[in-house]
Amino acid sequence: MFYGLAVAWGILAVYAVLLGLREQDLKKQLETLKKMVEEKK
Amino acid sequence: MRSKIVLALGLVGVPLLLRNLYVILFNLPDEMEQGPVYRIFYYHLPAFFAATLCYTTAMVCSILYLVKKSARYDAIAMACTEVGLAFAAVNLITGMFWGRISWGIWWAWDPRLTWALICWLVYFGYLMLRKAIDDPTERAKNAGVLSIFAYVSVAITWKAIEWWRTQHPGPVLSIRTGEQRIDPAMEQMLYVNTLALATLAAIFVITRLRQEEVQREIDALRRYAHAL
């Protein structure tokens, strides 16, 4: 029973972590691109 | 504004989830026939409801996209589908754990289980389709059509527990059966945990939607950088 509950929380926790990692990655990409466009101008 | 909504939902949803976990583990009694294993049900069914809510929103937004051609609806449909898949995975895997304990097997090719799996695979295909098409308008149009057709699998999965009387337990909620088949306290906890998981799903959808908007900004900047 505990494994079943743990896996439910586990999947949601993993998804939340993946969302967080994607957010960081997107922010980095956006900053890099903005800098690149500024330099090209 | 959106951050404040996420914060407000988090302040309601997270304590509710933790409170529900405590009540499920320590306050509610064991079920008479199944014993403690029935507690998996408190996540299995609410996760299905949360996923269905996400898929329904995705379907409605896909129709709105095809009618109004606003990229915002496409972004909402994508965010809802991805979050729906996470909750549907919770539904499928918690069901497998329950089946392993109650039936002695991880999986049975029962129509109800099979349709839940088909539904998950169809929506996974939706995300794969989005990755395969580069042009944003073509991607949104094709994904929108697929999302509408994919909803048929949600409807069949929803009705499967009534249409096929097989290994999977039948409907138990009084709102669906019209009679009290489980203890009212247990049924109430199912609704409260559905609310908690739906709140969590809303947080995920808003976060994913924000990311999609940033991704579109990145794509636009890339095109601009190439044009310079």
Say yes or no for a CB contact (<8 Å) between A4 and B89.
Answer: no
d(CA A7, CA B101): 14
Residue B197 confidence class, pLDDT cut points 50, 70, 90? very high
Say yes or no for a CB contact (<8 Å) between A37 and B224.
Answer: yes
When CB atoms are compared, the residue of B21, B37, B93 closest to A7 is B93
Whether pLDDT at B28 is above 80: yes
pLDDT at residue number A40: 79
When comparing pLDDT for B177 and B208, which is higher? B208
Round the average pLDDT of chain A to a whole number and report it: 91
DSSP conformational letter for B30: P
For B95, residues 6+ apart whose C-beta sits below 8 A from its C-beta are B40, B44, B113, B116
pLDDT at residue number B165: 81
Residue B1 confidence class, pLDDT cut points 50, 70, 90? confident
Residue B16 confidence class, pLDDT cut points 50, 70, 90? very high
Read off the pLDDT of each residue in B190-199 and give the average, rounded to a whole number.
Answer: 95
Distance from CA of B117 to the nearest CA of A (A): 17
Nearest CA to B66 out of B131, B152, B138 is that of: B138
Are the CB atoms for B14 and B193 separated by under 8 Å? no
pLDDT in tens, B61-88: 999 999 999 999 999 999 999 999 999 9
Read off the pLDDT of each residue in B138-159 and give the average, rounded to a whole number.
Answer: 96
**Residue B66 CB burial class (10 angstroms; 0-12, 13-18, ≥19):** middle
Read off the pLDDT of each residue in B191-213 and give the average, rounded to a whole number.
Answer: 96
Round the average pLDDT of chain B to a whole number and report it: 92
Give the global pTM.
0.92
Return the domain boundaries, chain B.
Answer: 2-227
Whether pLDDT at B110 is above 80: yes
Whether pLDDT at B183 is above 90: no
Determine how many CB atoms are found less than 10 A away from the CB of residue B94. 25
d(CA B142, CA B162): 32
Distance from CA of A39 to the nearest CA of B (A): 10
A vs B, Cβ pairs < 8 A, gives: 73
Say yes or no for a CB contact (<8 Å) between B37 and A29.
Answer: no
pLDDT at residue number B100: 92
Whether pLDDT at B228 is above 80: no
pLDDT at residue number B184: 84
Residue B140 confidence class, pLDDT cut points 50, 70, 90? very high
From the options 2.60.40, 1.10.3470, 1.20.120, 3.30.70, give the CATH code of B2-227. Answer: 1.20.120
Buried b (16+ CB within 10 A) or exposed e, B146-163: bbbebbebbebbbebbee
Residue B129 confidence class, pLDDT cut points 50, 70, 90? very high
Rounded to the nearest 10 degrees, what angle do helices B41-68 and B184-227 cross at? 40
ipTM for the predicted complex comes to: 0.91
Read off the pLDDT of each residue in B182-193 and give the average, rounded to a whole number.
Answer: 89
Q: Which residues of chain A are within 8 Å of residue B24 when distances are taken between CB atoms?
A: 5
Q: Which residues of chain A are within 8 Å of residue B200 when distances are taken between CB atoms?
A: 12
pLDDT at residue number A3: 86
